[in-house]
Structure 1
Amino acid sequence: MTGKIVLTRDQAGAVERIKVNVRNEGILLKKIESPWVNERNLFLNDMSLDDVVRLLYVGYEVKQPSIKIGDWAKHERKEDGKQFIGKITKLEKEKAWAKWSGVAMEGFIHLRDLTKMTPEEIKAEQDRQKWAEIEEGDVVINSTTGRVALFIRLPPESSQVGVQFCRGGIEYWEKQKTALYAKRVGDSDA
């Protein structure tokens, strides 16, 4: 046996959650008798028994993510599970600055509390942000046909959006082929 095992922040969190209810001997017994099935614990199946013993009795250190300006990162607040997601705009000492989701202005989160996002997570967040900006009455354009219409609805968990034409016809377009063309002009009292 040598030094400490290196874990990601998420892996370290999973180990700490397990240790709340299970003693070290129980964790070793689980490693020997049957595989872990909970998704966040699957990494333990890939570790050797020697590494799990080192993890439990020698300890572990958390690998800091290599985050740079322009990267997407996320943080889950432990108290309430609220997740903050942002594209890093500035790095200063041990802090990463971004316009975090759910926060009205730019702010920082300590690097040690961030997880670098996967390409799939980034795509999902960009899609979420895009559709959060589009409101009923905005003008959208279909990138395939070039047709323009009013956005009327986004059915929950759908890959399509509802649009209405000026003569009243309604169609559903694929989300990925629909983009904002112009924001709705506010109603005027004048």
Structure 2
Amino acid sequence: MNVNHEIINSSNKENEPINECFDSSDEENDFHYTIITELEVYLERYALQEGFSFKKTRVEYYLHQKEMKGLTADQKKLHVKRRKYECTHSGNHVSKKIINLDNQRNRGSYQVNCPWHVNATKPKKENTIGITSVKLEHNHVMNPLIAEMAPKFRKFTSEMITDVEFYVKHSIFSTTQIYLLLRA
């Protein structure tokens, strides 16, 4: 997998490697971003480089729910107060089923209580988003093929979208056949 290890679109950090932003300590660092999407692009590239996937678990906004009602997702990102990112393996699975354990198959869980997380905050009067706390340890094996495995990173290419639009518009294939072609 070819991953470019440089930060894109950062104001004063254009040619620094990704690992320089996160050292292996839990202390605060001096890396700041102007918009939340810039931080998320950086975290996605870092996750691809390291071989894991993350999820957005907590968000706080400066606006109340009534004020947020008519805003689009991009407009909401401008009003983020705090954001927490966690590894997709974080947390513990708690089954809600009430069945006899003898009849239940023994299956493992994707969640193994991984401690990796990044907390970001944007003070109201400042124009930067800062990383307030970082925990970089994982308690699971990293996957070098995460770009192919994690749903977060799998996306249709523009060629695939064009092909699907053509097939649908001209009724060449059924939806099942289009799905099978896309999987191949």
TM-score, normalization by structure 2: 0.22
Instruction: Report which structure shows greater RCO (CA 8 Å, sep ≥6).
Output: 2
Structure having the higher strand fraction is: 1
